[in-house]
Amino acid sequence: MRALLLLFAALMLSGQRDPVLVPEVSQHDVQVRQGFTGTELLLFGAVLDPAGRAGQDYDIVVVLKGPSEPIRLREKERFAGVWVNADSNDFRSVPSYFAVASSRPISEIVDAKTAAIYEFGTGYIQMSPSGSINPQEQERFSLGLVDLKRRQGLYKEDFGGVQISEGVLYQARISLPSNVTTGTYSAETFAVTRGRVIASAVSEVEVRKVGFERFVELSANQYGLLYGFVAVMLSVLMGWGAGRLFARL
């Protein structure tokens, strides 16, 4: 907050006429625990205009991105009548989650080039593909991946999802489904006017497993053998216990 105020003051002093964004997220710490069915984040904030021109026609675009991971995408093809995995393509940085919301359709706010630079839309995500050189093939793989993630509820676009009131305050609701990856998410906010991004700001959201869920994940990954024995004991005891219980009835 203090840094933002300093920045704000500096901008005021320098006579910079571009506005300043003050973003905030309703939850900086999303806890994945028992009964977690997803959550809704409220991304909100204000656009401060040093020149005091309220009611300027800004557009706001917010982009929420999950931690990136390298993946291999495989494509099924019909081979002798049977669907088998054929081609594959690697992507070095695929965001595990990607959501973009804007106050108006992106095509009305910026041109395609700007949209591509700032990743305004699931079609513009920079995933660093590697492997295939053919751009057409790469395009096909990228589209397939985005479509898959979209149907899993992990990639979404909500053009019109940002509400701006009085040209100063904005807010957008973005939902996280239960199958999100844990890690550090970045929420970027952009103020756009006349096709130009004039201000941007980033804040972070930490999604993490807590309590029993974290304990289970840690044990499974670090103490595999012990975890396996506990799982076996659980099944044996439950099977044996039920047998005893029903034998008495």
Partner 1 sequence: MDVYLPIANLSVNGLWIVALGALTGVLSGLFGVGGGFLTTPLLIFYGIPPTVAAASASTQVTGASVSGVIAHSKRKGVDYRMGAVMVGGGIIGAGIGALLFRFFRAIGQIDVVINALYVVLLGSIGILMARESLQLLRKSSGTNQAARRRHHPLVANLPWRWRFYGSGLYISPLAPLIVGIAVGILTMLMGVGGGFILVPAMLYILGMSANVVVGTSLFNILFVTIATTIMHSLTTRAVDIVLVGLLLIGSVTGAQFGSQLAVKAKPEILRLVLASIVLLIAFRMFLGLFYQPDEIYTVYPL
Site residues, partner 1 (CB under 8 A): 32-38, 69-76, 78, 81-85, 88, 90, 141, 144-145, 147-148, 178-179, 181, 209, 212-214, 216-217, 220-221, 224-225, 227-232, 234-236, 238-243, 246
Spatial separation of the C-alpha atoms in residues 231 and 57, rounded to whole Å: 59
The residues near 210 (Cβ < 8 Å, ≥ 6 apart) are 31, 32, 33
- CA-based torsion, 219, 220, 226, 232: positive or negative: positive
Tell me the Ramachandran region of residue 160: left when phi exceeds 0, alpha when psi lies from -120 to 50, beta otherwise.
Answer: left
Neighbour tally for 186: CB within 10 Å: 14
Q: Please, are residues 178 and 33 in contact by the beta-carbon 8 Å criterion? A: no
Question: Residue 31 or residue 203: which is nearer to partner 1 going by CB?
Answer: 31
Q: Please, are residues 205 and 64 in contact by the beta-carbon 8 Å criterion? A: yes
**What are the phi and psi torsion angles at 44 (to 5°)?**
-140, 175
How far apart are CB 15 and partner 1 at their closest, in Å? 50
Q: Facing residues of 88 across strands?
A: 74
Spatial separation of the C-alpha atoms in residues 25 and 3, rounded to whole Å: 17
Q: Note the residue count of the chain.
A: 249
Spatial separation of the C-alpha atoms in residues 27 and 178, rounded to whole Å: 16
